[in-house]
Structure 1
């Protein structure tokens, strides 16, 4: 019944339940025991996503306690949110960062460009790319690779 257990696991995660490391370990062992390596990889993906969500919660807790995050913290959390498909939250953090007077660096721009590309919004990705270049950040291999990867991801190879 590991498949049913996996479905319950996913349902609980959708409503905000973050499993412990022990829960992941037991789940992974059960899948291996019955030879369901396909579910092992799915669980592993969920485990990585949960780590990003825990980081996001810790980040918000720190802000609530009065700590002032810097560019690196904002960028790191934004990257994790984009990776797990929570681009709306990443975008909110981007604007929060700007509103607090923090200046985006090249890496921060590329994280957000990646996020726009991942959701297929190439118009906004291009605007952000042009804004980055207009602020004096040079076009470089990272910038080009980010845009090219996003375009290829959506079949826009031409």
Structure 2
């Protein structure tokens, strides 16, 4: 196409760049981005999103940062999806402060964070063992009238159970809040809380919780078998 009369447009280049990213050939994708700019074709949000997604997965944060500021300087409108890729990737690397900077920029641009963004920040603080900060973000989200999801509650419960052994009382409080005001806990939430009880030696409490679990009729047999197997593994471990 480049050698013929019909020149490829940005849409074509985006398809090729996305395919290169899918194949893990990021160097070629970055070179293609530079080639596009040299030809005077301005990349758009689709171009950068494909690259940023894979760069975040590989932890190439300096390049992610460079591309982020390129987008800002080109006045490219960053949508929630783009910000989510950046923030989630940074938080998974425990780089919460940079993630919060991106979120502040997001708000300045008039894009309001959603529950997925807040979940990423909460998880980032939990991964760093900063449970009090994680809880403050959780409460701030509620103050902003954003309803926590089952993932929001589960992240905090997981943090208290796994990253600060001995704080199962805090995990239990979150669990009680979830029962009274939040979505119904799923098997992963229950398993995480049971794990925390066993690690702290609260065997009787774990058995009591296990016996009180409310399970839908149609899933009763399968879920009970799965949960019992998981509980026995924790007990033996």
Q: TM-score range by the shorter chain?
A: 0.5 to 0.7
Match of 1:92 in 2: 101
Write the mapping of 1:110-129 to structure 2, written as runs, cut at 5 A.
110-129=119-138
CA displacement at 1:155 relative to structure 2: 2.6
Write the mapping of 1:5-154 to structure 2, written as runs, cut at 5 A.
48-50=58-60, 53-154=62-163
CA RMSD for the aligned pairs? Answer: 2.4
Q: Highest relative contact order (Cα 8 Å, sep 6+), 1 or 2?
A: 1
CA displacement at 1:85 relative to structure 2: 2.7
CA displacement at 1:21 relative to structure 2: 6.1
Distance (whole Å) between structure 2 residues aligned to residue 60 and residue 140 of structure 1: 31
CA displacement at 1:89 relative to structure 2: 1.1
Q: Is the 8 A contact 1:56 1:77 kept in 2?
A: no
Given the two structures, how large is their TM-score scaled by the length of structure 2?
0.42
Cα deviation code 1:101-144 (max 9, x no counterpart): 22111111111111121222222211111121223332331111
Cα deviation code 1:18-41 (max 9, x no counterpart): xx769xxxxxxxxxxxxxxxxxxx
**May I ask how many residue pairs the two structures share in their alignment?**
114
Given the two structures, how large is their TM-score scaled by the length of structure 1?
0.61
- Structure 1 gaps of 5+ residues are 1-19, 23-46
Distance (whole Å) between structure 2 residues aligned to residue 138 and residue 66 of structure 1: 31
Change in 2 beyond 3 A, CA 1:66/1:119: same
Match of 2:189 in 1: none
